[in-house]
Structure formats: structure tokens, C-alpha cells
Amino acid sequence: MKFSKLSQLFLVSMIGLAVATLLSACQIVTIDYIFVANSSGSGTSSAGQIQTYDADSETGALRIGQPDVPSGGTNPVSMAVSSDYANLYVANAGNNSVVHFALDGNGVLTQKDTVTVSTTPVSIAVNATGTYLYVVSGTTSATLTEYSLSSGTIGSIAATAPLNLSSVNSLFAGDTIIPTAVTVLVNNNSSLTTTNGVYVTAYDQSAYNPGGTTTSTANPGWVFGFTVGSGGALTAAAGSPYNAGVKPTAIANDPTNRFVYVTDFASNQLIGYQIRSAGVLNFLINGPFRTGNEPSAISIDPRGKYIYVANALDSSVSAYVIDLSTGTPSGSVNVTGSAINSTDTQPVAILVDAALGRFVYTANHLGDSISGFRIDTDTGTMSATQATPYPSGANPTAIVSVPHGNHAIQTTTP
């Protein structure tokens, strides 16, 4: 059978389109799944949603991945992923819930179990062995709650620790402590004296209350430190809580378990600590370190070389090089010589991708978007990824990443 010239042209066009599509698909290699928690609407009662993005290995550009799933509650504020990347946890402030999702190799989330927290959850974290989930909660009081985990499933409460200033001064015992973030040391090697540490940031609203009255002369900002013993027992580290500026908002530890870093939202600074024996924190000698305005979130790359801080008021990211011997963050670094790496409006969460540590992403609360940057792994400098920012749902609040699994993962062994 013979084709007309028009039929031949149509056939050639269709073959060309198919080849182009195939080549484009081959050029896109997913390096990470990026999960973003946001509200599905503008009202406070709108159900939360988790969006999934695929991150391209070469450019860092994001594209929509698996369909959105409900967060299991309202107003999701924090997410955490287990170290084996098989489980994701979401804290919903609107209905005081923490929800467990199973995660498969294709980035598909399946809701499993839920626990209800007695007070509003603020931040969550999972220990490296996947045996405990840590939840900090409270709006007029502060509590650290440790839940046991079994194959990802949230079990019973293993321990609780009220966060107050009674150990500092009995006069401050009744102060209103507002928790903001939690981090867990990444290594559980029992031979290390600094292992099994949990640190929580909080501020004293009785001493720091812009626009309102204060009733306390206590230091406003604090880091509460705990060691984790047999059966999950929480024991306050010697000297805890530790001074942490005025209003600490975020906390992260480096992958070698030697340093902890805290952002001070009110003073526009980054505070660094050295982790000593039994989890005790000592200030880094040259700190604190300047950030942009209203630093709200912090992330450290998996090699432990660079720190990235999201500045909510400036809509920017500050980048620092870590002196590996002292933990001191350098002055900000940027390919243009400027300290400003612009994001969309009001970044409130930030991450360095979990796979290779080559990309930085921020969740922009008022921009309803995700901003992306590519890291120069030799210098820590940043450049915008293709087509950034990427649209998200309404008011994103939290962001995590999970390696795709088709390549080696960049890690640092403590």
C-alpha cells in the first residue's frame, strides 16, 4: 500500500515527536523526591496537603510527581523522614495530630497510623535508628514527647520532658515557654560520648513579647538538651537549658555530631555550639554570626561543609562554609560576591537535597512556591535552578527530601 505525501509527512512528524519525547524522558533523571506540606485552601480549617515533586539530577529543576495526598489533619507545620527513607511523618497543628505515611520507591505515600498530641505540635524529628519519634508541642507551655517506633509505626509514649526554666531559677519556673524546633543527633554509636542527644529550641514569652507586656527578667531564648538512655529515658544535659539569643526559631546539627547551630529570628544571627561529652553545649568562640533579616530555617549539607539559612523577611538564603576543625561558619558566600540569594516571598523552611547534597530548596509561605538553587560543591556558592520558583499549594510550611535510590548517596560518617 502506498502513502500519499500528506500521509508520509504525518507519519514522519509523529515519529519525530515520539523520538523527541523519548529523548526528553531519557534526559530527565530523578535524583530526589521533594515533599512539601501546605494548606489546600486559604481558611484555617482547610485540610492540609502533601505535594510530591521530582528533582532533576542535572539541573535541580522540580516537576510535579505523584498526586497530592491529604496530610491527615489541618495546618501541617513540620515533617520528618526516617533514615531508611521508608517512612514520613507529618505534624498537623490544626487538629493536634502526628500522622505516619509509608513511602515506596516511586515516591508514593500511603497513610498508616495517627497519634493525637495533648497540645499543639510544633516540630518533629526521628532518630537515626528509627526507634523513636520526637514531638515538641505547646502554645502556652512546652513539652518534648518521645514515641516509640516499630517498623515505622508510631507506638506508645516512651518518655516526656517538660520544658521550663525551673533549673535556671525557681522564679522563672512559671514562665510561658514557646517551643520552636527539635533536632536529634544523627549517629547512635554508643561508643561516642555525644551520641543520642536531642535538642529543642524555645523562647520565653514572659520575657520576650513584642507589642505586649513582659513579666519575667529571664533570658528570652533557650536550647534544651537531653541525652537518651535505656528504654528512651530522657535526661537533661548538664547546664541545660543553654542561652540562645532572643527568639531561636530553627536548629540543626552537623553530620559528625560535633556542632549545633541555631537561628535567632529576633536578632538576625546564627548561634553555634560545640557538643561536648554527655551532650553538653558550649558556645563557639567567634559567634554569633550575622544572617539576613528574620532567619527562620536552617539546613546543613550531608558532607557537613556548608550551612544554608532561610531569611523570612529578606526572602533570601544566607550560605556559610563550616571550618571543619572549629565548626565556625565563615562569612556568607555567593557566586556574585553578595550575601543575597533571592527566593520567592517569605521562605520558612529549607533543605539540602538528601541524595547528593547538590541542591537547596526553600518553601515560600507567602509566595506559594518552592525556590531552588544549585550548590557548587567545591565552594558552597549557589545559583538559581531552571525555572525557579516552582508553584506549590497555599502557604507551604515544611519541606523534606528522599533520595530516588538509583545512585549512591552522599553521606558523612561521624
At 52-61, the pLDDT tens digits run: 999 999 999 9
**CA-closest candidate to residue 222, choices 236, 243, 207:** 243
CB–CB of 404/31 below 8 Å? yes
Distance from C-alpha of 86 to C-alpha of 285, rounded to nearest angstrom:
39
Is 316 a residue whose pLDDT tops 50? yes
pLDDT at 286: 87
pLDDT band at 333 (very low <50, low <70, confident <90, very high): low
Percent of the chain with pLDDT over 70: 85
* Residue-range domain boundaries for the chain: 29-403
pLDDT per position as a tens digit, 264-277: 999 999 999 999 99
Please name the amino acid found at residue 297.
A
Three-state SS for 364?
strand
pLDDT-derived band at 9, boundaries 50, 70, 90: very low
Q: Which CATH superfamily is domain 29-403 in?
A: YVTN repeat-like/Quinoprotein amine dehydrogenase (2.130.10.10)
The average pLDDT across 206-231 equals 95
Nearest CA among 286, 249, 253 for reference residue 267: 249
How far apart are the C-alpha atoms of 348 and 216, rounded to whole Å?
29
The confidence score (pLDDT) of residue 298 equals 98
Reading the block at residue 70, the C-alpha cell is 491529604
**Range of lowest pLDDT (10-19, 22-31, 115-124, 322-331):** 10-19
What is residue 27's predicted lDDT score, i.e. its pLDDT?
56
Mean pLDDT of 61-80: 96
193 has pLDDT over 50: no
Whether the per-residue pLDDT at 12 is higher than 60: the answer is no
Report the amino acid identity of residue 152: G
pLDDT recorded at residue 13 = 40
- 221 pLDDT above the threshold of 50: yes
What pLDDT score was predicted for residue 28?
Answer: 63
Looking at per-residue confidence, does 105 or 3 come out higher? 105
Confidence (pLDDT) at 45? 56
Sequence-separated (6 or more) residues with CB below 8 Å from residue 292: 268, 309, 311, 313, 314, 316, 318, 339, 340
- Mean pLDDT lowest for which of 21-25, 122-126, 212-216? 21-25
Q: What are 243's strand-pairing partners? A: 222
Residue 19 pLDDT > 90: no
Residue 385 has pLDDT above 50, yes or no: yes
Answer whether residue 352 shows pLDDT above 90. Answer: yes
Long-range pairs for 188-193: beta carbons < 8 A, 24 or more residues apart: 188/127, 188/128, 188/129, 189/414, 192/257, 192/414, 193/277, 193/278
Q: What is the pLDDT of residue 42?
A: 54
Q: How confident is the model at residue 413 (pLDDT cuts 50, 70, 90)?
A: very low
pTM for the complete prediction?
Answer: 0.89
Q: d(Cα 21, Cα 25) in Å, to the nearest integer?
A: 6
Burial call 140-178: b when 16+ CB within 10 Å, e when fewer:
ebbbbbbbbbeebebeeebbebebbbeebeeebeebbbb
The stretch 243-261 carries a mean pLDDT of: 96
**Distance (Å, rounded) from C-alpha 23 to C-alpha 266?**
50
Mean pLDDT computed over 206-212: 94
The pLDDT mean for the chain works out to 88
Under the banding of pLDDT at 50, 70 and 90, the label for residue 404 is: confident
Tell me: the pLDDT tens digits for 299-308?
999 999 999 9
Q: What is the pLDDT of residue 22?
A: 41
- For residue 41, name the pLDDT band (cuts at 50, 70, 90): low
Range scoring the smallest mean pLDDT among 38-47, 134-143, 348-357: 38-47
Average confidence (pLDDT) over 334-347 = 74
Identify the residue with better confidence: 247 or 413.
247
Query: What average pLDDT does range 160-187 have in this prediction?
Result: 94
Count of C-beta atoms within a 10 Å radius of residue 9? 11
Whether the predicted pLDDT of 349 surpasses 60: yes
Q: How far apart are CA 271 and CA 286, in angstroms?
A: 10
Residue 155 makes CB contacts below 8 A (sequence gap 6+) with 147, 148, 149
- DSSP state at residue 45: T
Distance separating alpha carbons of residues 163 and 143, to the nearest angstrom: 5
Under the banding of pLDDT at 50, 70 and 90, the label for residue 326 is: very high
pLDDT for position 314: 95
State residue 17's pLDDT score: 40
The mean per-residue pLDDT over the stretch 146-155 comes to: 97
